[in-house]
Amino acid sequence: MMSLLGCRSKTLSKANTADPLFIGEHRGLDFLNSIIRPKSGTVDWLTSESTMLNWFQQSGLATADELAPLRQNPKGLEQAIAEVSEFRERFRDFITTVGGQPQAVMGHPIVDEINQILKDTVQVLQVEEMAQAPKPNQVPYELRYRPQLRDATDLLPRVAAVCAQLICEADFRYIKNCEGPDCSLYFLDVSKSHKRRWCSMDLCGNRAKAATYRNR
């Protein structure tokens, strides 16, 4: 699995215009996928104040109304970018280490770190649309605790909360790294057969099929 540590210096300016990818089937994995490494270089949606706030809104981790005060007064956002990005890489190391081994979750340092981050946050109950498509006859809403967003320091608890949900809700046997040779994207395989191999057919699946055909 590909590490992305040390790649921030190569971040491409096209991250300002490209749309973030939300193919992880869980917001905790979409958080990891907020940085990618195509052949053309690194694209990181958490490197500037505007791209990070846009990512939070597009991912559903914050609403436009919640983020409006931060857009008007970006005090503390530079520090928040560093904290969120550094936490992302520690959480990536955790997923890389524990993926496929759910018994290894408890006792890992990331669990204590997440608990510490969430310990002193103000939590509010929110009725939200389900992140995943509802099952037949299931209402498409759910009740969730969400850390209150008062200033830039509350952005880290927002991502820590969805990472905690991933730890508690996901079957770690089916958290996978895309098999594309240059792909760093993760996803939760929720297919019935659990044989999903690619982040998406458009991004990597069709490319792999074409390569197989050429090599025949």
Buried/exposed code over 179-189 (b: 16+ C-beta within 10 A; e: otherwise): ebeebbbbbbb
Cα 131 vs. chain centroid, distance in angstroms?
13
Given this model, what pLDDT does residue 39 score? 61
Reported as a single tens digit per residue, the pLDDT across 152-182 is 999 999 999 999 999 998 999 999 999 887 7
Residue 14's pLDDT is 42
Residue 101 has a pLDDT of 73
Please tell me the pTM assigned to this model: 0.80
Rounded Cα gap, residues 158 and 61, in angstroms: 7
What kind of fold does domain 8-214 have according to CATH? Answer: Jann2411-like fold (1.10.3300)
Q: What is the largest CA-CA distance in the chain?
A: 59
Residue 55 neighbours by CB distance under 10 Å:
21
Q: Ramachandran region of residue 72, left (φ > 0), alpha (ψ -120 to 50) or beta? A: alpha
